[in-house]
Structure 1
Amino acid sequence: MDPFEARMTMVELVGRLNASHASESTLASFMMKHDDLKEDLYACIMEILENNAKDNVNMRNNIMWALGFLCMKIEDFEIKRKRRVAEGAPIGDFKDMTFYNASLVHDLVKVTTELVCSDDEIGRINKQSTLLFLSKMKKRKLGSAAGKGPQGLEQIERAIDILEKRKPPVQDETNLKLPMTNAQKLKRMEEDRERSKMERENAWVIGRHEDEFELQWDAVDGGFTALDKYETQEENEMCQLARFGLDMSTAVKYLGQGKRRRVEEPLSRKETRA
């Protein structure tokens, strides 16, 4: 696909964006599939956000959430790829798609505080949605797949600080303007309801055991102590003994004697394999 055709398709897909998982997934899949045009596609979606969506508060909001969905999809892809590499499994043709993650980290403050939630009457409508988006990106550690976890956290905190310090100006009740039509209001209410529903559903998703461990580990004060290292080494040796056929009581007795030597596989098991 040539760059012009890709841009035309991007404009069409962005125009169809809403709060549904399907519309965000379609756009994300297209951008990930045409990785060779990643610079053009990202520039295109930023141009739409700056120009086409200037007077459309709902489109701004949908583009922001679609970019977040894309980055989280790439984060999950990178986690699975690294796990397969660690397991020695084949990964096929590798494509580094973390460009989008690094780009969003770089432009995060501009996207959230200037383009989506601009400091004007229409932009302030997106304030609560933008804060929710930033909170989700902070929880998902935006930029970690691209090696920009600390930068991502810094940008998120900066954007949140800017938005929370903003105060609505005193309005002249004799000159009030409606920034949204009734149709836009109804559409926005439906989209916010849909996103709220999806967030509640995601809260019940059971993640990997490693995710729960990392969450608990981050909450531990003091880090990895010498006692933790000793106990971890002892538990690893117990697991190794159990793997070679020793029951747990024998393993505990063995370790209690203070012996630290390599455990050889029993001869009977070697003969059985032969």
Structure 2
Amino acid sequence: MDPFEVRMQFISMLRRLTASQQSVQKVVGYCVKFAQCGEDLWDCIIEECRKGSINSRINILHFLDSLCETSLLLKSRSAPSTSQKEDVTSKGVFVDYLARDLSKIISYVVPEGRQGLPNLSSTKQILENWRIKRVIDPQKVDDVLSDLNNRPATAPDTSGSAPQPTTTHEPLSRNEIFKRVEEDRERHKRLRERRWVQSITHDTTDHRSLTLACFLPLAESAAGERALGIDIEFENEWETASDWNEDDDDAAAEESELCFRAEGEGPMDLS
């Protein structure tokens, strides 16, 4: 199949993409199969994110979530053969494209104003997953999340500002609204299924036994050492921990009193 035919067939698949796992995995499998045309396929994804409906854009974002997970799993199973290594590397290039164009994709999926509100919550959840699981650089994800959080709550007044794009967005029909509700249920179910705890492993050389992309650290030090799953999990918890304060002093004193009874008092109740 020549690159032009690959591109046209992929565009057709993207336009028929739904929230069902069967539909998502079909498109993911196509990307993996034709990973040598990765740049062309990525251009199609960007274009459909720009031109598609607000519902199709969130479907594409969820598809990218599955594509990145699959790409990282394939990349972790690199074989000793040089040709096989090159093939695996080509499949992992989608993660690099996502990191490069993350801001652009999110701006398409969640446009400013009221139009982007339906996609805002799901997009934040996916970004948070990518940050926690180190799918891409957490700092890049934090920057995009900060931009989303700093947006005005209402659509800006464009009466005296520069002209806006002429794209018009008609209200969704009743059937489209019901379809969106059902697809949101499917997407949220999938997001809940993927909230995994980080793997605890001390093997820094063999990652082939791992089964989830969230267990695959991306960063390597100058010495070639990979971050451990337990270190990633500790860092995630440390970032969300609050500073020690008076409430913590009171809680520690209460726990100490329960464990070590004062002189003359009975033993601690262990029932």
Query: Among 177, 180, 187, which residue is 1:185 paired with?
Result: 177
Q: Is the 8 A contact 1:72 1:140 kept in 2?
A: no
Query: In structure 1, what is the equivalent of residue 16 of structure 2?
Result: 16
Pair 1:109 & 2:103 matched:
yes
Question: What is the TM-score with the length of structure 1 in the denominator?
Answer: 0.64
Q: Report the alpha carbon displacement of residue 205 of structure 1 after superposing the two structures with TM.
A: 8.6
Choose between structure 1 and 2 for higher RCO, CA contacts under 8 A separated by at least 6 residues.
Answer: 2
User: Which structure has the bigger radius of gyration?
Assistant: 1
Query: In structure 2, what is the equivalent of residue 201 of structure 1?
Result: 193
Superposed counterparts of 1:226-237, under 5 Å: none
Question: What is the TM-score with the length of structure 2 in the denominator?
Answer: 0.65
Aligned residues: 199
Pick the structure with more helix per residue.
1
Query: Among 129, 147, 164, which residue is 1:136 paired with?
Result: 129
Pair 1:58 & 2:55 matched:
yes
Secondary structure in structure 1 of the residue aligned to 2:171: coil
CA RMSD between the two structures? 3.0
Superposed counterparts of 1:80-229, under 5 Å: 80-81=77-78, 93-94=84-85, 95=87, 96=89, 97-112=91-106, 114-143=107-136, 152-169=137-154, 179-203=171-195, 209=201, 211=215, 214-218=228-232, 219=234
- After superposition, the Cα gap between the structure-2 partners of 1:216 and 1:209, relative to the gap in structure 1 and judged at 3 Å, is closer
Q: Report the alpha carbon displacement of residue 178 of structure 1 after superposing the two structures with TM.
A: 7.1
Instruction: List gaps (5 residues or longer) in structure 1.
Output: 144-151, 221-274
Q: Is the 8 A contact 1:121 1:179 kept in 2?
A: no
Q: What is the distance in 1 between the residues matched to 2:124 and 2:110?
A: 10
Q: What is the distance in 2 between the residues matched to 1:126 and 1:135?
A: 14
Q: What is the distance in 1 between the residues matched to 2:111 and 2:104?
A: 9
- After superposition, the Cα gap between the structure-2 partners of 1:171 and 1:46, relative to the gap in structure 1 and judged at 3 Å, is closer
Secondary structure in structure 2 of the residue aligned to 1:122: helix
- After superposition, the Cα gap between the structure-2 partners of 1:6 and 1:158, relative to the gap in structure 1 and judged at 3 Å, is same
